[in-house]
Amino acid sequence: MMKQSFLMFLLLFSVILCKAQDLNKSELLEGTVSFLSSKNVYVKFTSTEKINKGDTLFMRQEGQLISALLVENKSSSSTVCTPIGNIKLVVNDRLFAQVFIPASKPVVKEETSQPARVNPRLEINNDPVVKPEEDDPLEEILFKEKIRGRISAASYNNFSGYNNATRMRYAFSLRAQHLNNSKLSVDSYVTFRHQLNDSINFADALKVYSLSAKYEFNRSTHLTFGRKINPKFSSMGAIDGLQFEKGFGNISLGFIAGTRPDFQDYGLNLNLLQFGAYASITSIDPSITSTTTLGLINQMNSGNTDRRFAYFQHSSNLAKNLNLFGSFELDLFENINEQVKNTAKLTNLYVSVRYRMSRKLRLSMSYDNRRNIIYYESYKNFIDQLIEDETRQGFRFGISHRATKYISWGVNTGFRFQKSSKNPSQNLNGHVSFSKVPFINARATLRANLLKTDFLNSKIFGLRLSKSIIRNKVDVEAYYRWVDYKYLVGDRVLDQNIAGANVSFRVQKNMSIHLFYEGVFDNSNKVYHRFNTRIIKRF
């Protein structure tokens, strides 16, 4: 009896086990990596119907499946995943999803006592129903139309005892990404300026800072035509012509071919040909955002090589609170007095490091050895331009700290020196800001700037107040600066008192009007007045 009971139990257990195996039958779905960003990995499948958020994707390594990705989101044919651990992947790598297939229920055919009657007038189509292929939502998100633009008109009026002038400036900027949800995008920033009562020189009045069209063949390949600054060649400035880039996982290869803007009026100059190629690598580690670019550029002037150089640029978050940016150029060609040399010379070096020690304390350091910047358009006053020119190059150190909820301060200092000991400078700049001044509920900032060069010693102290009169509607700002200039050549001393104010009105959701005044009063009894008005329309 015991033996028969044991056999019956064993038979029943086998049936249950087989049934359980049938209910938990699984299979592997194969997909491939289609795109990598700094944080996510996109994996393409024939269908993601059986894949759920939170599932794990596996990769095959030495004949075994190991966990590689975690599914965060999905569409009908793609998944958006985050890496597990320090897994390194590239485009076209194979990944697998383990999905379970429920047991199919047996089809029970009901027998009828009489055969069904068929209407001979009805045509029966036994072809399988084919549903139209649905668009991939991830593709729709990637190529979703987004348009931002701005139109502005402004007048700049300068009045003094010996000269009065009024300049008009009109600007148009447009950034239209994926027009009509397509792969085509356009970008433009154009200005037109002229002085009233003077003849207009269109070559000087019209400035095209950006005007380009971009076509994205897929997520990793695009072609740009027109005037555009390449973010991987940012210090080179605008490039007129073609820019092509193709991605292979976290590696991108590209080339440029075109011209440089004219040095005098920033117009199109076909004599300044340039061409080159570059390679860029981006980190796929979610904890580190890093992009490094290395390129080789050849620039010409009227058909002759004018400059040939290697370009390097790197930007990264080495740690959670540490940011690094660096770029330099290595000149490989020079032609002086018809003497051609192919020697390497380091030029245009710039390195910047920023470290956030805590939520309240930040440190920064930079070294700048780039050539002087050419401004084709600037509305800074003489003092601001002078300080910027004299302090841009050299070493700079800075610290900023939020002492309390409403008080913050910062100090930075810079040193410029050259091998020839010519034109050194020392600069110290500090500020204290109060985000909420008692009784008047305004923001206030106290600033001080000390500058010392071989030909000038200056001291500048200032106070700036700003307040919102009607929230998101009317804002006002007022400032005062005292300037003490002592020229070491000729012992000339210049004292200036500078006062200014501006008011901003938001007349509509996307339209605002700005009014500005600045008066300069010096010890020679000269007075300078600046009145600016500007209207801005955004869309």
Instruction: Render 317-380 in DSSP notation, one character per residue.
Output: EEETTEEEEEEEEEE--EEETTEEE---EEEEEEEEEEEE-SSSEEEEEEEE-PPPPP-SS---
Q: What is the pLDDT of residue 175?
A: 94
Q: What is the pLDDT of residue 431?
A: 95
Whether 486 shows a pLDDT value over 80: the answer reads yes
pLDDT band at 397 (very low <50, low <70, confident <90, very high): very high
pLDDT band at 244 (very low <50, low <70, confident <90, very high): very high
Residue 49 lies in a domain: yes
Span of 59-73, 445-459, 513-527 with lowest mean pLDDT: 59-73
The two tokens of residue 297 are 């550029």
Burial readout 112-121 (b: 16 or more C-beta within 10 A, e: otherwise): eeeeeeeeee
pLDDT band at 60 (very low <50, low <70, confident <90, very high): confident
CA dist list (Å): 385 to 13, 237, 391, 423, 425: 89, 20, 10, 17, 15
Whether 340 shows a pLDDT value over 50: the answer reads yes
Q: Find all residues with CB under 8 Å of 162, minimum gap 6, and list them.
A: none
Whether 139 shows a pLDDT value over 70: the answer reads no
Q: What is the pLDDT of residue 388?
A: 65
Decide which of 353 and 369 is more confident: 353
Tell me the three state secondary structure of residue 404: coil
3-state helix, strand, coil in the chain (%, to 5): 10, 60, 30
Q: What is the pLDDT of residue 186?
A: 96
Boundaries of domain holding 31: 16-102
Q: What is the pLDDT of residue 34?
A: 83
HSE value, Cβ hemisphere, 13 Å, CA-based, for 241: 20
Q: What is the pLDDT of residue 386?
A: 62
Q: What is the pLDDT of residue 127?
A: 37
- Mean pLDDT calculated for residue range 60-86: 82
Span of 50-54, 176-180, 256-260, 311-315 with lowest mean pLDDT: 50-54
Residue 257 lies in a domain: no
pLDDT band at 105 (very low <50, low <70, confident <90, very high): very low
Whether 138 shows a pLDDT value over 90: the answer reads no
- Reference 72, options 86, 52, 90, 91; nearest CA is 52
Residue 26 lies in a domain: yes
Q: What is the pLDDT of residue 225?
A: 97
Q: What is the pLDDT of residue 211?
A: 96
Q: What is the pLDDT of residue 421?
A: 59
- Mean pLDDT calculated for residue range 235-248: 91
Q: What is the pLDDT of residue 130?
A: 35
Report yes or no: 392 and 415 within 8 Å, Cβ to Cβ. no
pLDDT band at 126 (very low <50, low <70, confident <90, very high): very low
Question: pLDDT by residue (tens digit) across 259-304?
Answer: 999 988 889 999 999 999 999 998 766 667 788 999 999 999 999 9
The two tokens of residue 199 are 């003849």
Residue 46 lies in a domain: yes
Decide which of 46 and 190 is more confident: 190
Question: pLDDT by residue (tens digit) across 367-385?
Answer: 988 776 665 566 566 666 6
Q: What is the pLDDT of residue 14?
A: 44
Span of 5-19, 99-113, 116-130, 210-224 with lowest mean pLDDT: 116-130
Q: What is the pLDDT of residue 58?
A: 86
Q: What is the pLDDT of residue 287?
A: 67
Q: What's the total number of domains in the chain?
A: 1
Whether 490 shows a pLDDT value over 90: the answer reads no
Q: What is the pLDDT of residue 117?
A: 37
Q: What is the pLDDT of residue 514?
A: 96
Q: What is the pLDDT of residue 170?
A: 96
Q: What is the pLDDT of residue 39?
A: 76
Q: Find all residues with CB under 8 Å of 332, minimum gap 6, and list them.
A: 308, 309, 310, 342, 343, 344
Q: What is the pLDDT of residue 385?
A: 65
Residue 37 lies in a domain: yes
Q: How high is the mean pLDDT of the chain?
A: 81
pLDDT band at 488 (very low <50, low <70, confident <90, very high): confident
* Distance from C-alpha of 377 to C-alpha of 158, rounded to nearest angstrom: 16
The two tokens of residue 75 are 């569409």
Which CATH number is 40's domain given?
2.40.10.190
Share of the chain above pLDDT 70, in %: 81
Residue 188 lies in a domain: no
* Distance from C-alpha of 125 to C-alpha of 314, rounded to nearest angstrom: 63
- Mean pLDDT calculated for residue range 210-215: 96
Whether 495 shows a pLDDT value over 60: the answer reads yes
Q: For the full predicted model, state whether its pTM sits above 0.85.
A: no
Span of 106-110, 184-188, 393-397 with lowest mean pLDDT: 106-110
- Mean pLDDT calculated for residue range 125-138: 40
Whether 26 shows a pLDDT value over 90: the answer reads no
Report yes or no: 496 and 482 within 8 Å, Cβ to Cβ. yes
Residue 313 lies in a domain: no
pLDDT band at 471 (very low <50, low <70, confident <90, very high): confident
Residue 494 lies in a domain: no
